[in-house]
Structure 1
């Protein structure tokens, strides 16, 4: 079993979780992949897993990638990192995960757009400062 001959055949050889995440291009290096797993940012079938966990086709993997939480189903196995098009064939994001990710992105866009309009202009700042001084002078400051 320690023999690695023909390990390029997808789906025929056991693949470690850290290698699969790296091959599927979720993380830039295997070291980062291992750190994410060890840090609890990756769950395999709903449970924390070790980097050496063997990945099975059909397994559900939850992971954090940047600010996004993703849930994917394993479609194929590979321990070799290929191009992005090939990597995308190794998994499929669940519909619930995609909807949640898109909703979070929309919420971030709305918050970013509304943040600028909340800031008071020069006239409003002067009025607020005048109000604060009035409250302090009349003893309404807590």
Structure 2
């Protein structure tokens, strides 16, 4: 893949957007400035320049991505092409997949609270139950 950045380094917010970690560049900049992204173990600003070989830790939506920058691109690429811009740590990938499987099982188990307002029968049962407590 060609280096679209034009040089050896690129801004971290631009790279995160191009690699499809964030939908917009401003969201990427907010995440970086908010401490959700670390470069080589340290907190950085959105204007920080990164290059191939840098280690990034990205926290997004309760998930943690630990990736190594392989290539640079200033343009947003398709998902398969964007995946070639970085290499994810195998332990990070395994943790994320386990967490996603756990979330999927919780969703299949059903909602934690009833969906919507109670129906006529439910209201009658609630009234009956609360009246028994009063007496």
What range is the shorter-chain TM-score in? 0.7 to 0.9
Cα gap change, 1:118 to 1:38, in 2 (>3 Å): closer
Deviates further, 15-24 or 60-69 = 60-69
Cα gap change, 1:77 to 1:58, in 2 (>3 Å): same
Q: Is the 8 A contact 2:18 2:73 kept in 1?
A: yes
> Where do 4+ consecutive residues of structure 1 move more than 6 Å?
none
Runs of 5+ in structure 2 lacking a partner? 115-121
Distance in 2 (CA, whole Å) between partners of 1:22 and 1:82 is 9
Q: Is the 8 A contact 2:8 2:51 kept in 1?
A: no
1:8 aligned to which of 4, 7, 13:
4
Runs of 5+ in structure 1 lacking a partner? 1-6, 138-142
- Normalised by the size of structure 2, how large is the TM-score? 0.74
- Normalised by the size of structure 1, how large is the TM-score? 0.71
Q: What is the alpha-carbon root mean square deviation over aligned residues?
A: 2.6
Distance in 1 (CA, whole Å) between partners of 2:111 and 2:47 is 47
* Count of aligned pairs: 121
Cα gap change, 1:111 to 1:43, in 2 (>3 Å): same
Larger radius of gyration: 1
For 1:1-142, list aligned pairs within 5 A: 8=4, 12-115=7-110, 133=133
Residues 5-27 of structure 1, C-alpha deviations (whole Å, 9 max, x = no match): xx7267x4320111111111111
Cα gap change, 1:109 to 1:48, in 2 (>3 Å): same
Q: Secondary structure at the match of 1:97?
A: helix
